[in-house]
Structure 1
Amino acid sequence: MIRIENVAVTLGESRILDGVDASIPDGQFVGLVGPNGAGKTTLLRAMNGALSPDSGRVLVGDDAMADLSSKAGSRRVATVPQETTLSFDFDVRNVVAMGRNPYRTRFGNDADGRTGDAVENGGRDVVERAMERTDVARFADRSITAVSGGERQRVLLARALAQDTPVLLLDEPTASLDINHQVRTFELVRELVREGKTVVAAIHDLNLAAHYCDTLLLLDSGSVLASGPPAEVLAERTLREAFDARAVVSSHPVTGSTYVTALPEQSARREGDGRIHVVGGGGTVSRLLYVLSAAGYDVSVGVLNEGDSDLETARLLGLETVVEEPFAPIGSDALESLEAEIRDSDLTVLGDVEIGSGNLVNLEAVSEADSVVVVEERPFEARNYAGSTAVALYRELCERGRVVAPDDLLSAVEDAFAGESR
C-alpha cells in the first residue's frame, strides 16, 4: 500500500529526513518510534502529501502523493495531527462531518456528481458511525471550543474515520488521553486494521507500540535505524543507540508483549551496591528480576517451586534461588534458607504473588525483613487464599513498607538505599 523511497527533507538549515526507505503492506499497523526530533512527524507529513520531499517520493498504491490533487490525496490518506487549533464555533458533529469534504464537489454534490437524499443519508451514516466508534457521539451537539483536549483528540480521530480512507496516519494519537481512552483508541485502531485499513502512527510510548503494532519503524536523526517486529526493533543495544538510555527488554508477564523498562545510569550507584531478596511465584516477578539484575543489584529470589516460570527466569539470569519441590508447600529447609536470605539482604521485595496455605510462610518471613517494598498490581483480596491471617500480615507489610506499581520499583529501591546511606 505505501512505499517510501529515499525520502529526504530539509527544513531551514536542518536535514530532518535523510534517505528514508520503507515498505508498508496492506492491513498493517506500523508504529513510528524514536527520540524527539528523529523526524516522525515530518515523515507523516510527507506521507499525507502535506510536505513535498526534497528528493525521493512516497507512493500510496501506485501513485506518488506529491502528484495527486489535494482531494485525491485526501481520499487515499486521512491524518490525525498531534496538535490542531480549532477556534471556530462549530459543533462536534459538524467538525466530524468535515471528513466528508474530499467527496464533495464545489456545488455540494458527491465526487461522482450524484445528488439526492440517498447520498446525503449515506454521508450522515458514515459521520454517525465515526462518532460512535470514537465515543464522541454523546457530546455531538457541543461546541468544539467547549470540549477538553482529550475529547478534541477523539473528535479529530472521528473526523479522520469519516474521511473513509484506506490509509490512516496518526501523530501521537494518545498524547492527551487518559489511560482508559488510550487503550480504547488503540483497540479501535487494531479493529480498523482487522477490517483492512492500513495505519501508521507516531507513538511516544514504546510499550504501547510494542503491544499493539505489527511492525515498528525506529527513526534516529532522520534515518531508519531499525525496522521489523517489535521484539526485534526494541533490542537493548538499539535503544541505547537511539535514545542514549539504558533499558532492559523483557516480556510482560500478563500480555506477553515486549516490554521496555528504562534503567538509571550505572554511574549513579556502585555495581552490586545493595542486596535484594525477591519473593514471588507464578511469573509475577520475572520482569522485576530482569530489571533489578540489569540495574546492577545483587538479587536472590524464592521460595519458588520447581517448574515455576520465575525460577526459570532466575536461573537464566544466574541469580541465587531458594527452591522447593514441584507443587509442594514450603518445608522447613526451604523456610530456613528463605529466612537466611532475608536476614542477609538490605531490602526485601514482595511481588504481586498469590498467597495460599502452602506459601503463607513467605509473608511471615517477609514480616521479619528490616526494609520492605511491596509490588502491587491486583488487590490483595483477589489473590488471597489463606484467610484473615494473610490479610493481617499483608496489611502490616504495606503499612511498614512502601507499596508501588511494577514500573515504580526501581525508584522505590533507589530511595530505600538512598535513605540507608543518609
Structure 2
Amino acid sequence: MGRAKSGKAKSGGAKSGRTKSGDAKFDVSIPGVSGSDGFNVDNFKSDGSKHDSIKSDGSKPDNIKPGEAKSSSSGRTRLLRVENLNFYIDGVHILKDISFEADRGEFIGLIGPNGAGKTTLLKCINGINKGTGCIELGGRDIRTLTGRQIASKAAMLHQDTTVTFPFTVLDIVLTGRYHRLGRFKPETPEDYTVARKCMEYTDTLKLENRIINTLSGGERQRVLFARVLAQETDLILLDEPSASLDIAYEEQLFKYARGLSEDGKAVIAAVHDLKIAVRYCTRLIMMKDGRIIADGSPESVITRENLRLSYDVDAIVYRNRVTGLVDFHVSGERSSRRDIGVHVIGGGGSASGVIRQLFELGCRISAGVFSLGDSDLACADIFGVRAVACRPFSEIDDNSFRENIELVKAADMTILCDMPFGSQNIRNLEAAAYATELVIIEDSDPQSRDFTGGRALEIYNELRKRAVVVDSARLHEVL
C-alpha cells in the first residue's frame, strides 16, 4: 500500500505525524488506496449515498499498482484470481474446482443455500482454509504470502461477531492496523485517526470506550466492519454481513459496500438475502454443493432454472415494475387438487392477487380483457397466463370481446374481480354473462364503482342474482 500524499491536513482532518525522514503530513482516505483513487469517508453522506460532487458512473481507476495483474477479460485491474480450488474436511470434498476472478470495481455476491460453500470459499481466499489449486491476491500466490501480507491485501468481516476478550471498541478497531505496524511498535497518531474515521463512518464512534462484549450483536457487527475498513485493503470479504443488523443498518452497510466497489475496490460478500444481492451487487456467483453453477449479472443468474437447481424451489422470475430490477416469487409446490379452468375478469390491479392464488392452487387460468400497460396484464405474463388485451384508453374492441367470451365459455368457473366500470370496459361485464359458474368478488359497494350512469350497475345486479358473491378473504372457500 502506498502512503497518502504529503500535504497540509484540512481543518478538522487528520493530524500530521512524524516519520524517520522528518516531519510528514498526511490525509486519511478511508479505506483504501492512497492518492486520488482512494475511498474517502468524507465522500459519503451518513446514509451511505455519495455526495453530488462524487462520480457515480461506475468508472474505475486505471492505474495498476506493483504486483497487480491486468485482467484479460475486462481490461480492469485484477485483484483476485481463483483457479481449480478444491477443499476437503476430513476427506469430504467441500469446494470443487472453483475458478473465478475479481477485478477492481466489482461487488460480487456469493449466493446459494446453506452448505453451498460460500463461507468456506471466503476463508480460503483469506488464507484461513488451505485448499489445493491456485489463489492469487494482487498477482501473488497466496502460498507465498505471510499472514501480515495477506492482511494488507484482503480484509474479512466474519459472520460470527463473538469477541472473547473485554477490549474497548477503539482497541478492537485498532487491531485492523496491526499489519502496518512494526514488531512491538505502538500505534501512531495516524492509526488512531484512521480508526476513528472508520468508526465515525459506521456510526460507532460514540461507542469507542465501551467494552466490545457489552454491545448488541448489531453494534458489534458495525464495530467489526469498522475494523475491516481500518485495514485499508483493496479486497474486502464479507461473510453474511447483515446477519445481526436491523433493516436500516442492513441497507446502509450494503450501500457502503457498493460505494467501496465504485471507488475501485473489489468486494466479495456471502449474501443470504437474494433480493438484497440483486439490489446492490454488480455480479452474482451462485453455488450449490461446493460448485459454481452460475456466474454473471444478476439478470443472467437469477433465473427460474438456476433457482430450481440451487435452492430446489419453483419460482416465478420477472422484472419488478417498481424497482426496475429482476425479482422473483416463490410459489412453493403447486397443488393439483384444483385442476380446473378458471377465467379471471379484472383490471387496474384487481386481478393480480386472484391470479397468484389460482396459480398456487394449480388451476388452469385465463384472463381478460386487460388494457395494455395494466398491472394485471403484467401479472398474467409473469405467471404464464393467457390473457386478452386491448388498446388502453379505448373501448374493448369486437375481436377482444369475442375472444374474452370464448375463454369464459371454455372455463369451468369465471371470477369477476372487484374493479371499477366505465364505458371502456363495460363489455367485460357483458362477457361474464356467458359464465358456466360465476363468482363475484365484492370488497366494496358496486354502486361506488359504476361510472356509466347506472348502466354497469344494472348489468352487475343481474349477474349477482346467479353468482356466488364473496369478499377477497373468503375466495378460497369457493375454489
- Normalising TM by the smaller chain, what interval? 0.7 to 0.9
Whether the 8 Å contact between 2:345 and 2:369 is mirrored in structure 1 is: no
Tell me the distance in 2 between the aligned counterparts of 1:304 and 1:89: 64
Q: What residue is the counterpart of 2:311 in the other structure?
A: 243
Whether the 8 Å contact between 1:87 and 1:145 is mirrored in structure 2 is: yes
Tell me the distance in 2 between the aligned counterparts of 1:81 and 1:11: 20
Q: What residue is the counterpart of 2:122 in the other structure?
A: 44
Greater CA drift, 178-187 or 331-340: 331-340
Q: Alpha carbons of 1:223 and 1:130: their partners in 2 closer, same or farther (altered >3 Å)?
A: same
Q: Alpha carbons of 1:135 and 1:335: their partners in 2 closer, same or farther (altered >3 Å)?
A: farther
Letter in 1 for 2:305: R
The two structures have a TM-score, normalised by structure 2, of 0.66
Greater CA drift, 260-269 or 71-80: 260-269
Instruction: Quote the offset at 1:91 in angstroms.
Output: 1.9
Give per-residue Cα distances to partners, 1:191-218, cap 9 Å, x unaligned. 1111111000001111111111111111
Q: What residue is the counterpart of 1:7 in the other structure?
A: 85
Letter in 2 for 1:108: K
RMSD: 3.6
Give per-residue Cα distances to partners, 1:102-123, cap 9 Å, x unaligned. 111122157xxxxxxxxx2322
Report matched runs for 1:358-377 at 5 Å. Answer: 370-373=469-472
Q: Alpha carbons of 1:266 and 1:293: their partners in 2 closer, same or farther (altered >3 Å)?
A: closer
Tell me the distance in 2 between the aligned counterparts of 1:86 and 1:349: 58
Q: What residue is the counterpart of 1:61 in the other structure?
A: 138
Tell me the distance in 2 between the aligned counterparts of 1:242 and 1:154: 30
Q: What residue is the counterpart of 1:311 in the other structure?
A: 377
Are 1:209 and 2:277 matched, yes or no? yes
Whether the 8 Å contact between 2:175 and 2:227 is mirrored in structure 1 is: yes
Give secondary structure in 2 for the equivalent of 1:16: strand
Are 1:254 and 2:254 matched, yes or no? no
Letter in 1 for 2:185: G
2:250 to 178, 182, 186: 182
Q: Alpha carbons of 1:349 and 1:195: their partners in 2 closer, same or farther (altered >3 Å)?
A: farther
Greater CA drift, 308-317 or 11-20: 308-317
Q: What residue is the counterpart of 2:72 in the other structure?
A: none
2:428 to 337, 347, 353: 337
Kindly report structure 1 stretches of 4+ aligned residues shifted beyond 3 Å: 267-281, 284-325, 327-330, 338-350, 355-359, 368-373
Instruction: Quote the offset at 1:267 in angstroms.
Output: 4.2
Q: Alpha carbons of 1:87 and 1:199: their partners in 2 closer, same or farther (altered >3 Å)?
A: same
Whether the 8 Å contact between 1:28 and 1:193 is mirrored in structure 2 is: yes
1:93 to 159, 170, 179: 170
Are 1:326 and 2:393 matched, yes or no? yes
Tell me the distance in 2 between the aligned counterparts of 1:255 and 1:285: 21
Tell me the distance in 2 between the aligned counterparts of 1:88 and 1:218: 36
Tell me the distance in 2 between the aligned counterparts of 1:88 and 1:331: 71
Give secondary structure in 1 for the equivalent of 2:115: coil
Q: What residue is the counterpart of 2:208 in the other structure?
A: 140
Tell me the distance in 1 between the aligned counterparts of 2:116 and 2:440: 40
Q: What residue is the counterpart of 1:405 in the other structure?
A: none
Tell me the distance in 2 between the aligned counterparts of 1:151 and 1:285: 44
Q: What residue is the counterpart of 1:197 in the other structure?
A: 265
Q: Alpha carbons of 1:275 and 1:145: their partners in 2 closer, same or farther (altered >3 Å)?
A: farther
Tell me the distance in 2 between the aligned counterparts of 1:268 and 1:318: 17
Q: What residue is the counterpart of 2:158 in the other structure?
A: 81
Whether the 8 Å contact between 1:249 and 1:258 is mirrored in structure 2 is: yes
Are 1:173 and 2:173 matched, yes or no? no
Greater CA drift, 134-143 or 44-53: 134-143
Q: Alpha carbons of 1:50 and 1:416: their partners in 2 closer, same or farther (altered >3 Å)?
A: farther
Give per-residue Cα distances to partners, 1:378-402, cap 9 Å, x unaligned. xxxxxxxxxxxxxxxxxxxxxxx4x
Are 1:107 and 2:184 matched, yes or no? yes
Aligned length: 359
Q: Alpha carbons of 1:140 and 1:314: their partners in 2 closer, same or farther (altered >3 Å)?
A: same
Instruction: Quote the offset at 1:280 in angstroms.
Output: 3.3
Instruction: Quote the offset at 1:286 in angstroms.
Output: 7.5
Instruction: Quote the offset at 1:318 in angstroms.
Output: 4.1
Are 1:72 and 2:139 matched, yes or no? no
Tell me the distance in 2 between the aligned counterparts of 1:325 and 1:171: 48
Whether the 8 Å contact between 2:156 and 2:237 is mirrored in structure 1 is: yes
Larger radius of gyration: 2
Whether the 8 Å contact between 2:122 and 2:239 is mirrored in structure 1 is: yes
Greater CA drift, 160-169 or 131-140: 131-140
Q: What residue is the counterpart of 1:378 in the other structure?
A: none
Are 1:17 and 2:95 matched, yes or no? yes
Tell me the distance in 1 between the aligned counterparts of 2:155 and 2:322: 34
Q: Alignment identity in percent?
A: 34
Give secondary structure in 2 for the equivalent of 1:127: helix
Give secondary structure in 1 for the equivalent of 2:165: coil
Give per-residue Cα distances to partners, 1:356-410, cap 9 Å, x unaligned. 9989x9xx99xx994445xxxxxxxxxxxxxxxxxxxxxxxxxxx4xxxxxxxxx
Tell me the distance in 2 between the aligned counterparts of 1:333 and 1:158: 59
